[in-house]
Amino acid sequence: MSQHTDDPLQLLKQAELIYDAATVNRAINALSNALTKDFSEQKPIVLSVMTGASYLLGQLLSTLEFPLEVGYVHATRYHGQTLGKTLSWKVRPEKVANRHVLILDDILDEGITLRSIVDECIQLGALSVKTAVLADKQLSIEKPIKADYVALSVPDKYVFGCGMDVFGWWRNLPCIYALNDS
């Protein structure tokens, strides 16, 4: 997918709705319940993978019923494009030594970025590292990591909304859309 447009309204108009807002909200509530059950005694540090996981973090934060600290990491492979390239660290994990770590990400695509973040946390001395993603893209290839918690599965298309962008646009949408292949 190499097309680029300066017209975000046209992108949205031509996109395919994958999940409406009600479905996304139900999935995030179910994710919150699972995380509350599993982390209620761990006092984890929750690391949001910027920028995409900011939506998920915002939706989850007030619903998680356990003590936690919040931090963030910023590693990217997309650089404003629809195809991933070389991993670039902007902010590495902090305060993870001797801590239980929960990493929130918007999407588990090829898994390279999330795998690198998990490995970095382990190398920095985390007691445990778990991952939760809003969307797990169904690819035909084997990924180097599986998310411990998945809210929704999405098809092998370029998806956006709910924190995921398309050419920098539409992270703010409460629904998940896919770019058309045409």
Instruction: Read off the pLDDT of residues 69-107 as tens digits, 9 standing for 90 and up.
Output: 999 999 877 655 555 567 888 999 999 999 999 999 999
Per-residue pLDDT at 84:
57
| Residue 59 placed within a domain | yes
DSSP conformational letter for 107: E
Instruction: Decide if 130 is inside a domain.
Output: yes
Task: Provide the CATH number for the domain around residue 95.
Answer: 3.40.50.2020
For residue 63, tell me if it sits in a domain. Answer: yes
10-15 long-range Cβ contacts below 8 angstroms, 24+ apart: 11/166, 11/167, 11/169, 11/170, 11/179, 12/170, 12/173, 12/177, 14/179, 14/180, 15/160, 15/166, 15/177, 15/178, 15/179, 15/180
For residue 7, tell me if it sits in a domain: no
Task: Please check the confidence at residue 1 and state whether its pLDDT lies above 80.
Answer: no
Within a domain: residue 151?
yes
- Whether 129 is covered by a domain: the verdict is yes
User: How does 164-178 read in b/e, with b if 16+ C-beta sit within 10 Å?
Assistant: bbbbebbbebebbbb
Name the domain count of the chain. Answer: 1
For 67, the domain range is 20-155
Q: Is residue 162 part of a domain?
A: no
